[in-house]
């Protein structure tokens, strides 16, 4: 939405539609944070944690029905259905506008309407984009303070002609009904009916009925990925569901790595990796989203458009991710974790033994014998990136960082080796297009079922996934091959016959990064296999891990028959994209089958 001051008109239109009792322009200041947090504590919708143990930190308990993104209520309303593609829920834009008009009409009655100007990326970055979120949830405003750069500077930029994305959010729970009667408030207002709606052509976002994370913090998945991917397509850049890190080798050389994994597959852990190999260092830049564009020298540069972490709490501990634990020492909002007797937080995996007298995420007394978990499996912490002990000093750099490698990963018990290098960029795009993963708790659905998750973007691509693959191919075609980052597929989750993970993961993933760096430096050869370049087992550093030759064999095994079966499934999957499937993707699949048929497996 361009045009000077157009936001004033838009704000007043939304106020006319939603009829709030009051309108507040937010500025992202500490005073604003303190006032909103105190107000929510007084109202009983936030619990202030023990000031000595967890200063300036709060616990929110959501409505039990509002605990995750709602993908089946998420819509892409492009003019033509085929522009949303077979992987998105398309809805007719004019019909959806009528529905939204009805839903939002009077939806903020009795509530305060907050206008939150925000930047994705450092305000001065050429890669930054601006948005304004209107919301009737003070909880959303508090979270946005941590996740985004909330500042009135954005309004001056818009006044100066910068584009911006209008984003409207309502929990859909007015405090005054249409007859004027007052309704009781609850500690987590929301609506049974939810709509998370994107209009890619006009770059608008409308979200109704949920107060939870990715449904309500509209700078995150809605703007940075769904609308961002459309902006990227039109402007020649990439909006990706990727963590971003700087890796420093013992030789003191820096490498920047972006890695795509589906939600709740350990992106935060990898972004804050504590290397187990001496001399290696990891600095964190982002754990969820990367915006990648071509720099003046032709290399791809990335920024993290976000300013905070919205991480999964369960499983996070001093052992699995000490940096995350240190990051959330203060100034943190927790959602749906358990509360300890002394006003601190707990979740499954934080300690081996749960403290006595916990209160679970629903607010009920809990002990180790309870049948349900104390913290919801998708409970979260929201905290500023600046508090991360491993934060890269360049995380705020307007220029971003030059990418050396891109990793694609899923959660695969079978088939996919620990690491495999793509043959070239186009083969890397094929790898990205074909990754799949087991369903996690971050989205609703049956946990454990295998789902295709191309580029980890399945729920986040704002246009036809086939066109998105074409866009990736075009970025490669317009860049000299030696300037492009190298592409790898990784899988920490392969299991043996006994159903146990073969690979220790976490800090030991440094060994995979070490091999990747050795490949970038041309220090090791790879073994050509049907699915790409594998490490020579003798050159892959597993010193001290005590992994048997059988386990190593299983970690890197390429079972030709199983891969041929998988190729069949890929063909079926690709067929869904019809004319939108790039010819290059079919050619890549043919190439894979040919190599499998020739019996190419690693020596
Ligand atoms: O989309 S959320 O922000 O709620 C978290 C995720 O799924 O990555
Ligand atoms: Mn994510």
Per-residue pLDDT tens for 413-451? 889 999 999 999 999 999 999 998 766 566 666 655 568
The answer to whether residues 135 and 141 touch, using CB atoms and an 8 Å cutoff, is yes
| Short-list 197, 219, 198, 223, CA closest to 208 | 197
User: 263 CA distance to ligand 2 centroid (A)?
Assistant: 4
Q: How confident is the chain (603 residues) per 10-residue block, as mean pLDDT?
A: 74 98 98 98 98 98 97 98 98 98 98 98 97 98 98 96 98 96 97 98 98 97 98 98 98 98 86 97 98 97 98 95 98 98 98 97 96 97 98 96 97 93 98 83 61 94 98 98 98 93 96 98 97 96 96 96 92 96 98 90 58
Instruction: Quote the pLDDT of residue 265.
Output: 81
Nearest CA to ligand 1 atom 3: 214
Ligand 1: which residue has its CA nearest to atom 1? Answer: 214
Return residue ranges of the chain for CATH 3.90.228.20. Answer: 240-305+395-598
Looking at residue 599, its pLDDT comes to 76
Q: Which ligand is nearest to the CA of 211?
A: 1
Q: Which atom of ligand 1 is nearest to the CA of 310?
A: 3
The per-residue pLDDT for 447 is 58
Of 220, 264, 286, 290, the one to substitute when testing ligand 1's pocket (max ligand atoms within 8 A of C-beta) is 220
What count of other Cβ atoms lies within 10 Å of the Cβ of residue 317?
A: 16
Ligand 1 atom closest to the CA of 443, numbered from 1: 7
Q: Which residues contact 287 (CB under 8 A, 6 or more apart)?
A: 243, 267, 268, 271, 272, 309, 311
Gap from CA of 68 to ligand 1 centroid (Å): 7
Atom of ligand 1 nearest to the CA of 215: 4
For residue 442, the model assigns a pLDDT of 62
Q: Residue 450: what pLDDT?
A: 64
Residue nearest ligand 1's atom 6 by CA: 263
Residue owning the nearest CA to atom 4 of ligand 1: 214
- Say how far apart CA 567 and CA 591 lie, in whole Å: 11
> Which ligand 1 atom minimizes the distance to the CA of 221?
1
Q: Atom 5 in ligand 1: which residue has the minimum CA distance?
A: 214
- Alpha carbons 138 and 147: distance in angstroms, whole number: 14
Q: Which atom of ligand 1 is nearest to the CA of 217?
A: 3
CA 185 to ligand 2 centroid distance, Å = 31
Instruction: Identify the CATH assignment for 240-305+395-598 out of 3.30.200.20, 3.40.1440.10, 2.60.120.10, 3.90.228.20.
Output: 3.90.228.20
How high is the pLDDT of residue 444? 61
The Å distance, Cα 466 to ligand 1 centre, comes to 23
Q: What is the pTM of this model?
A: 0.96
Using the 8-state DSSP alphabet, how is residue 55 labeled? T
Neighbours of 369 (CB within 10 A): 5
Best residue for ligand 1 mutational test, from 120, 144, 198, 221 (most atoms within 8 Å of Cβ): 221
Range 7-47+69-236: architecture per CATH: 3-Layer(aba) Sandwich (3.40)
Give yes or no: 388 in active site: no
Quick one: the chain helix, strand, coil %, rounded to 5? 30, 25, 45
CA of 92 to the centre of ligand 2 (A): 27
* Alpha carbon 200 to its chain's center: 19
pLDDT at 340: 98
Outline which parts of the chain fall under CATH 3.40.449.10: 7-47+69-236
pLDDT digits (tens, 9 = 90+) for 271-305: 999 999 999 999 999 999 999 999 999 999 999 99
Query: Looking at the CA of 259, which ligand is closest?
Result: 2
Residues found in the chain: 603
| Residue nearest ligand 1's atom 8 by CA | 263
pLDDT of residue 446: 61
From the list 190, 265, 388, 461, the catalytic residue is 265
Task: Return the pLDDT at 449.
Answer: 58
Between the CA of 267 and the centroid of ligand 2 the distance, in Å, is: 8
As given in the structure block, the two tokens for residue 299 are 């290399």
- Atom 2 of ligand 1: nearest residue by CA position: 214
Among all bound ligands, the one having the nearest atom to the CA of 214 is 1
Query: Domain 308-387's class?
Result: mainly beta
Are 336 and 379 within 8 A, CB to CB? yes
pLDDT confidence of residue 6 = 87
| Ligand 1 neighbours (beta carbon < 6 A) | 69, 213-214, 220-221, 263, 310, 442
- Parts of the chain belonging to CATH 2.170.8.10: 308-387
What is the C-alpha to C-alpha distance for residues 414 and 171, in angstroms, rounded to an integer?
41
CA of 315 to the centre of ligand 1 (A): 16
Ligand 1 pocket: which of 214, 266, 459 to mutate (most atoms within 8 A of CB): 214
> Quick check: 34 and 136 in contact, CB under 8 A?
no
How far apart are alpha carbons 129 and 133 in whole angstroms? 13
């Amino acid at each position: 939405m361009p045009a000077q001051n157009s936001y004033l008109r838009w704000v007043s239109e939304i106020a006319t539609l939603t009829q709030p009792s009051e309108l507040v322009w937010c500025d992202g200041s500490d005073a604003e944070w303190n006032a909103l947090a105190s107000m929510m504590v007084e109202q009983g919708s936030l619990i202030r944690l023990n000031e000595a143990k967890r200063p300036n930190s709060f616990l929110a308990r959501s409505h039990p029905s509002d605990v995750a993104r709602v993908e089946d209520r998420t819509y892409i309303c492009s003019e033509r259905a085929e522009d949303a593609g077979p992987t998105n829920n398309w809805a007719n834009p004019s019909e959806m506008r009528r529905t939204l008009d009805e839903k939002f009409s009077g939806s903020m009655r009795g509530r305060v309407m907050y206008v939150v100007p925000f930047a994705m990326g450092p305000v001065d970055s050429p890669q930054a984009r601006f948005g304004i979120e209107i919301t009737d949830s003070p909880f959303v405003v508090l979270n946005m303070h941590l996740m985004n750069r909330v500042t009135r500077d954005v309004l001056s930029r818009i006044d100066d002609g910068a584009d911006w994305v209008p984003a409207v959010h309502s929990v859909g729970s007015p405090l005054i009904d249409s007859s004027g009667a007052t309704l009781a408030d609850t500690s987590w207002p929301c609506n049974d009916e939810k709509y998370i709606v994107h209009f890619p052509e006009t770059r608008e976002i409308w979200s109704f009925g949920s107060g939870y994370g990715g449904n309500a913090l509209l700078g995150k998945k809605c703007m940075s990925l769904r609308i961002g991917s459309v902006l990227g397509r039109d402007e020649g850049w990439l909006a990706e569901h990727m963590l971003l890190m700087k890796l420093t080798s013992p030789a003191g050389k820096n490498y920047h790595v972006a890695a795509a994994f589906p939600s709740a597959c350990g992106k935060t852990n990898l972004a804050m990796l504590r290397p187990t190999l001496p001399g290696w260092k990891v600095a964190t830049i982002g754990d969820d989203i990367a915006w990648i564009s071509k720099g003046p020298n032709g290399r791809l540069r990335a920024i993290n458009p976000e300013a905070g972490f919205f991480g999964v709490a369960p499983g996070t501990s001093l052992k699995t991710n000490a940096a995350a634990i240190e990051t959330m020492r203060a100034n943190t909002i927790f959602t749906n974790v358990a509360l300890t007797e002394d006003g601190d937080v707990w979740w499954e995996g934080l300690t081996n033994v749960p403290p006595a007298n916990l209160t679970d995420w629903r607010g009920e007394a809990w002990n180790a014998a309870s049948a349900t978990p104390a913290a919801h499996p998708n409970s979260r912490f929201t905290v500023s990136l600046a508090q991360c002990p491993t934060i890269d000093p360049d995380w705020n750099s307007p220029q971003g960082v030059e990418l050396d490698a891109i990793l694609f990963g899923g959660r695969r018990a079978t088939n996919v080796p620990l690491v495999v290098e793509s043959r070239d960029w186009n083969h890397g795009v094929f790898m990205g297009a074909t990754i799949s993963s087991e369903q996690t708790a971050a989205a609703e659905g049956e946990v454990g079922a295998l789902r295709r998750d191309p580029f980890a973007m399945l729920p986040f691509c704002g246009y036809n996934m086939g066109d998105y693959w074409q866009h990736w191919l075009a970025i490669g075609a317009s860049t000299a091959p030696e300037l492009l980052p190298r592409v790898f597929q990784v899988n920490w989750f392969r299991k043996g016959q006994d159903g146990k993970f073969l690979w220790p993961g976490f800090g030991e993933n440094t060994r995979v990064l070490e091999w990747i760096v050795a490949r970038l430096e041309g220090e090791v050869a790879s073994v050509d296999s049907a699915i790409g370049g594998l490490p020579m087992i003798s050159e892959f550093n597993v010193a001290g891990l005590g992994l048997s030759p059988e386990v190593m064999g299983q970690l890197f095994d390429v079972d030709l028959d199983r891969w041929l079966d998988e190729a069949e499934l890929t063909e079926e999957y690709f067929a869904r994209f019809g004319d939108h499937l790039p010819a290059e993707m079919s050619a890549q699949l043919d190439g894979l089958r040919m190599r499998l048929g020739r019996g190419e497996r690693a020596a």
